[in-house]
């Protein structure tokens, strides 16, 4: 039984005890110690938050111990290391995840209990670390968890933003942004390394000097900022390995500002130095166009320079010959954001280590790999003008890389100048700029897509020209999520149920074992317990909804959820239009028909980028529709609409387990992968989705019958867009489905108020204006059919439960463990390095 497995796991972990003991009494002693000496409260009187702080420090001590052991072991065995470079990590909370991965959850709970506290309540005290925007950033966090769990010798590098992603406040249905000063209450999960600092240089000039009879370029920088390391231990599950996520903070350089001192301008010299700190101050919110912002470029280089100095120092401690670099170091570019690394490594090898250009280039091409996370064709660009000023030597290096690349291409494809212009790393034109994706592709040995469909688009569209040149570089690494975070931490009821019926907890390290649930597909007891777990999670969610929005929801209703960043391509608008249509239908029904209706709670959540007007209007429309429907006494519990404010990782942990149905509505060909779909799948929530991104592979895995697929397929989307453009001139109301036209008219004519405000929103889906680029009109009918199918399936709870079980049983392939193992073996060529007990 489960107890036995827990006991076995406990034995295993107590064997791992190091200096600090993990039995409840020892933990309790440590908690009280930290209450008294770290939190500086009396051990006779402390509250939940102080209990959280003390427990966090108690856990942190244990993390540090393992983290030391892991690094000593890595140092001794000198494995090839992976450095994962990412400007965003969405870690969320750390306490529950840490105690679970350390295998001390029961002991901690007991220790707290004896002190009169409850673990769940104490864990709730923690705020989220939100140093990222959305999919890409949460993926990085799951991948760190997998790297640690699978014992890979890896380091993560990122920026320690003082302000994470803005907090979303809703006032009168409108989104407002408030700064997220997350460090206000201290952060016990990081260790400041005041001695691990590097100077990062900016501006200045490039000069030519004679060295050993040869001319050599040197960069004479004009400004120096100091990077200070903050280490965040990442524990693996079921292993002693604890790896490091090193985040850099900018501090004024300790070097004295001589000039200001000499001119007597002491006050200004201090003020200028303060400006240095702004570099790592704030995370850029995702408007997917930070193009041309100087601060963003400063952040990128600050991050790249500090990380690479650290990496090279470590390499040089262990090795003397740079020829060994490709055998010992793998550098991963998480999207184009860290791509300046390429120029920086060249600069280090050529200008500082004097390796010579060709040798340096040869090495650089063997160490970088690259993953892109977007379907958008127009990628990141850095204006040459900015670079020239901020990083003059890097600009020269980029030009030289491009010159050599184009020369090579001329040999390969001839003087086809239009093709060469497309391939070029430098984009000519009104605003001359560096194309970061081209740079990353040219220098990386591997270019990864995040789903099969995404890779296909990279090959045939986005990077078609590059694919023709380097077909072997292009690989698919379908995303995954960590079952530790998304089942074990967030859905303890399901965790226990799965372990009980599989007779093992091994699936927490090996998600493929989840397929064993299929053996119990028709077991009535299993069904009963399965439904019970969902019910409890729905209760938890219903309480939260009532607390946040005042709306009381019925547990018998289908909880239908769409939570993700608000984007036109994700089509939250389609969802809202569907809700309005449902409302219309209910209004027109007689009493008898209403009795047969499946009640719904429609839950929407997500942040709009502060400058993204249309997205903000979608949020307002959602509130306006909710207000109308929720107050219609005619409708009652049959339909409720709820907007969950400030969606983030910890809100997701509460919402996802409580969902019956989840929506993933991106117009096919727009979502590179999607990872929310996988989290819902793992929690036994059925998907209503387009055949986009990784959903295509979910369909492959669990079968079309076990989710609700709708809408144009990728190959149909382009045709439909063409068709509507050719129809453009006359407005053809006849071609717009009746239901759709009606819903649109209601919004436009002010049925939900604010018609002037919603006008431009409506225009995005109308002919002759926005031209309905995301095809809401043509997908609407199919969307409603899928919704009807979901209603029908929900009535048959046996069938629904089977589908739910099959979803979880098929989710093993979507574990980030699978993704990471694939990266490790086929891209990074690194091997597990397991720290002995
Ligand atoms: C996202 C993709 O939109 C999503 O489909 C994918 O699942 C996820 O990355 C992980 O691969 N992309 C981003 O979050 C993204 O491009 N963010 C940039 C603004 C930083």
Q: What pLDDT shows up at residue 259?
A: 62
Task: Give the pLDDT confidence of 728-747 residue by residue, as tens digits.
Answer: 544 455 577 899 999 999 99
* Of the candidate ranges 729-733, 767-771, 827-831, the one whose mean pLDDT is the lowest: 729-733
Q: Is the pLDDT of residue 198 over 70?
A: yes
Architecture of domain 492-820: 3-Layer(aba) Sandwich (3.40)
Query: Within a 13 Å sphere around the CA of 138, how many CA atoms are in the beta-carbon half?
Result: 26
Cα 105 to chain centroid distance, Å, stands at: 26
Q: Is the pLDDT of residue 12 over 80?
A: no
Q: What pLDDT shows up at residue 731?
A: 47
For 552-578, what is the mean pLDDT? Answer: 98
Question: Interface pTM (ipTM) of the complex?
Answer: 0.99
824 lines ligand 1 (CB under 6 A): no
For 324-344, what is the mean pLDDT? Answer: 98
283 lines ligand 1 (CB under 6 A): no
Specify the pTM. Answer: 0.95
- DSSP states of 628-684 as a string? HHHT-TTTGGGEEEEEESS--HHHHHHHGGG-SEEEE-PPTT--S--SHHHHHHHTT
Q: What pLDDT shows up at residue 730?
A: 45
How much of the chain, in percent, has pLDDT values that exceed 90? 88
Best residue among 374, 447, 477, 820 to mutate for probing ligand 1, ranked by most atoms within 8 Å of CB: 374
With a CB cutoff of 8 Å and minimum separation 6, the contacts of 214 are none
Of 776, 777, 774, the residue nearest 732 (C-alpha) = 777
Q: Give the 3-state secondary structure of residue 180.
A: coil
Cite the beta strand spans of 242-301 per DSSP E: 242-252
**Which is the catalytic residue, given 565, 582, 620, 664?**
565
Q: Is the pLDDT of residue 256 over 80?
A: no
Q: What's the 565 CA to ligand 1 centre distance in angstroms?
A: 10
225's tokens:
């900022």
| Other beta carbons less than 10 A from residue 271's beta carbon | 11
- Give φ, ψ of 349 to 5 degrees: -70, -40
Could you give the C-alpha distances from 504 to 216, 236, 493, 533, in angstroms and in order? 63, 19, 15, 18
Q: What pLDDT shows up at residue 254?
A: 66
Calpha distance 50→433 (Å, rounded): 51
Of 830, 818, 794, 617, the residue nearest 708 (C-alpha) = 794
Calpha distance 695→644 (Å, rounded): 24
Could you give the C-alpha distances from 26 to 51, 110, 111, 736, in angstroms and in order? 16, 11, 8, 69
Q: What pLDDT shows up at residue 19?
A: 83
* Of the candidate ranges 72-76, 133-137, 271-275, 568-572, the one whose mean pLDDT is the lowest: 271-275
Q: Which atom belonging to ligand 1 lies closest to the Cα atom of 454? A: 5
Q: What pLDDT shows up at residue 2?
A: 57
- DSSP states of 791-807 as a string? HHHHHSHHHHHHHHHHH
Calpha distance 10→106 (Å, rounded): 9
Q: What's the 352 CA to ligand 1 centre distance in angstroms?
A: 36
Longest CA pairwise span in the chain (Å): 96
**pLDDT confidence band for 588 (50 / 70 / 90):** very high
Q: What is the enclosing helix (H) or strand (E) of 690?
A: strand 686-690
What homologous superfamily is domain 78-93+128-477 in, according to CATH? Glycogen Phosphorylase B; (3.40.50.2000)
Q: What's the 359 CA to ligand 1 centre distance in angstroms?
A: 35
Q: Where do the domains of the chain lie? A: 78-93+128-477, 492-820
Average pLDDT along the chain: 94
For 234-243, what is the mean pLDDT? Answer: 97
Q: What's the 672 CA to ligand 1 centre distance in angstroms?
A: 7
671 lines ligand 1 (CB under 6 A): yes
Pick the residue whose CA is nearest to atom 15 on ligand 1.
136
For 601-613, what is the mean pLDDT? Answer: 97
**pLDDT confidence band for 129 (50 / 70 / 90):** very high
480 lines ligand 1 (CB under 6 A): no
Answer with the residue of higher pLDDT: 771 or 603.
603
Q: What pLDDT shows up at residue 681?
A: 98
Q: What pLDDT shows up at residue 723?
A: 80
Q: Which atom belonging to ligand 1 lies closest to the Cα atom of 132? A: 20
Calpha distance 149→239 (Å, rounded): 7
| Other beta carbons less than 10 A from residue 231's beta carbon | 18
Q: What is the enclosing helix (H) or strand (E) of 223?
A: strand 223-235
Of 602, 611, 608, the residue nearest 620 (C-alpha) = 608
For 453-475, what is the mean pLDDT? Answer: 97
Calpha distance 426→399 (Å, rounded): 8
Q: Which atom belonging to ligand 1 lies closest to the Cα atom of 134? A: 14
- Tell me if domain 78-93+128-477 and domain 492-820 are identical in fold: yes
Residue pair 494/486 in contact (Cβ under 8 Å)? The answer is no
Residue pair 312/281 in contact (Cβ under 8 Å)? The answer is no
- DSSP states of 133-165 as a string? -SHHHHHHHHHHHHHHHTT--EEEEEE--SB-S
Q: Is 565 a catalytic residue?
A: yes
375 lines ligand 1 (CB under 6 A): no
Q: What pLDDT shows up at residue 469?
A: 96
Q: What pLDDT shows up at residue 97?
A: 98
Q: Which atom belonging to ligand 1 lies closest to the Cα atom of 138? A: 10
Q: What pLDDT shows up at residue 17?
A: 59
């Amino acid at each position: 039984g489960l107890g036995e497995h827990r006991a076995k796991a406990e034995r295993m972990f107590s064997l791992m005890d190091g200096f600090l003991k993990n039995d409840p009494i020892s933990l309790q002693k440590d908690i009280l110690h930290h209450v008294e000496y770290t939190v500086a409260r009396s051990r006779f009187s402390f509250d939940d938050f102080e209990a959280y702080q003390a427990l966090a420090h108690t856990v942190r001590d244990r993390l540090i111990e393992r983290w030391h052991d892991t690094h000593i072991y890595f140092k001794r065995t000198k494995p090839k290391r992976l450095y994962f470079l990412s400007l965003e990590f969405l870690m969320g909370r750390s306490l529950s995840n840490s105690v679970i991965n350390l295998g001390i959850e029961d002991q901690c709970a007991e220790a707290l209990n004896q002190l009169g506290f409850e673990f769940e309540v104490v864990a709730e005290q923690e705020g989220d670390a939100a140093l990222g925007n959305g999919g890409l950033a949460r993926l990085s966090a799951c991948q760190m968890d997998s790297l640690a769990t699978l014992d890979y010798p890896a380091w993560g590098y990122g920026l320690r933003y003082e302000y994470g992603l803005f907090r979303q406040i809703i006032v009168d249905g409108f989104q407002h942004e408030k700064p997220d000063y997350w460090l206000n209450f201290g952060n016990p999960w990081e260790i400041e390394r005041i001695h691990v600092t590097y100077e990062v240089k900016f501006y200045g000039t490039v000069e030519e000097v004679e060295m050993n009879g040869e001319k050599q370029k040197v960069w004479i920088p004009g400004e120096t900022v100091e990077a200070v390391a903050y280490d965040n231990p990442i524990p693996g599950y079921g292993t002693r390995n604890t790896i490091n996520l090193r985040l850099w903070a900018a501090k004024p350089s300790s070097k004295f500002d001589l000039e200001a001192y000499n001119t007597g301008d002491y006050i200004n010299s201090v003020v200028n130095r303060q400006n240095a700190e702004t570099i790592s101050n704030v995370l850029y919110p995702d408007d997917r166009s930070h193009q041309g912002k100087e601060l963003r470029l400063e952040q990128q280089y600050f991050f790249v320079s500090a990380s690479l100095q650290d990496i090279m120092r470590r390499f040089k401690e262990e090795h003397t010959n740079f020829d060994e670099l490709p055998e010992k170091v793998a550098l991963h570019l998480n999207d184009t954001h860290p791509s300046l690394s390429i120029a920086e490594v060249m600069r280090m090898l050529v200008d500082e280590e004097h390796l010579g250009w060709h040798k340096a280039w040869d090495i650089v091409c063997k160490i970088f790999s690259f993953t892109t996370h977007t379907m958008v064709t127009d990628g990141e660009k850095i204006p040459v003008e900015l670079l020239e000023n901020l990083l003059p030597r890097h600009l020269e290096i980029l030009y030289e890389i491009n010159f050599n690349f184009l020369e090579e291409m001329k040999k390969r494809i001839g003087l086809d100048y239009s093709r060469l212009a497309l391939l070029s790393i430098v984009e000519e034109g009104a605003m001359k700029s560096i194309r970061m994706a081209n740079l990353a592709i040219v220098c990386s040995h591997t270019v990864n897509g995040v789903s099969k469909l995404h890779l296909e688009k990279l090959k045939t569209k986005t990077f078609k020209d590059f694919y023709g040149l380097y077909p072997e570089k292009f690989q698919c690494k379908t995303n995954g999520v960590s079952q530790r975070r998304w089942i074990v931490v967030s859905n303890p009821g399901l965790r226990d149920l799965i372990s009980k019926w599989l007779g093992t907890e091994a699936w927490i390290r090996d998600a493929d074992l989840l397929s064993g649930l299929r053996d119990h597909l028709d077991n009535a007891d299993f069904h009963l317990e399965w439904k019970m777990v969902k019910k409890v999670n729905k209760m938890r969610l219903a309480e939260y909804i009532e607390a946040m929005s005042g709306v009381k929801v019925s547990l018998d209703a289908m909880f239908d959820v769409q939570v993700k960043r608000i984007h036109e391509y994700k089509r939250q608008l389609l969802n809202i239009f569907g809700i309005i249509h449902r409302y219309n239908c209910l209004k027109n029904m007689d009493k008898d028909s209403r009795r047969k209706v499946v009640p719904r709670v429609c839950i929407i959540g997500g942040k709009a980028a502060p400058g993204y007007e249309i997205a903000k209007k979608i949020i307002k429309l959602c509130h306006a529709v909710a207000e109308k429907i929720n107050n219609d006494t005619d409708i009652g519990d049959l339909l409720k609409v709820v907007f969950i404010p400030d969606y983030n990782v910890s809100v997701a942990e509460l919402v996802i387990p409580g969902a019956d149905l989840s929506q993933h509505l991106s117009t096919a060909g727009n979502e590179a992968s999607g990872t929310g779909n996988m989290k819902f799948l793992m929690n036994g929530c059925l998907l209503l989705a387009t055949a986009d991104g990784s959903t295509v592979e979910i369909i492959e895995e669990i079968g079309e019958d076990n989710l609700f697929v709708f809408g144009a397929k990728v190959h149909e989307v382009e045709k439909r867009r063409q068709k509507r453009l050719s129809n453009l001139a006359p407005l053809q109301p006849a071609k717009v489905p009746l239901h759709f036209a009606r819903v649109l008219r209601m919004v436009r004519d002010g049925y939900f108020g604010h018609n002037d405000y919603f006008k431009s929103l409506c225009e995005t889906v109308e002919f002759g204006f926005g031209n309905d680029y995301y095809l809401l009109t043509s997908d609407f009918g199919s969307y409603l059919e899928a919704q009807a199918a979901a209603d029908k399936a929900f009535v048959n709870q046996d069938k629904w439960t089977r589908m739910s079980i099959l979803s979880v049983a098929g989710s093993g392939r979507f574990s980030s463990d699978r993704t990471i193992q694939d990266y490790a073996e086929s891209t990074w060529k690194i091997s597990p390095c397991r720290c002995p007990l």
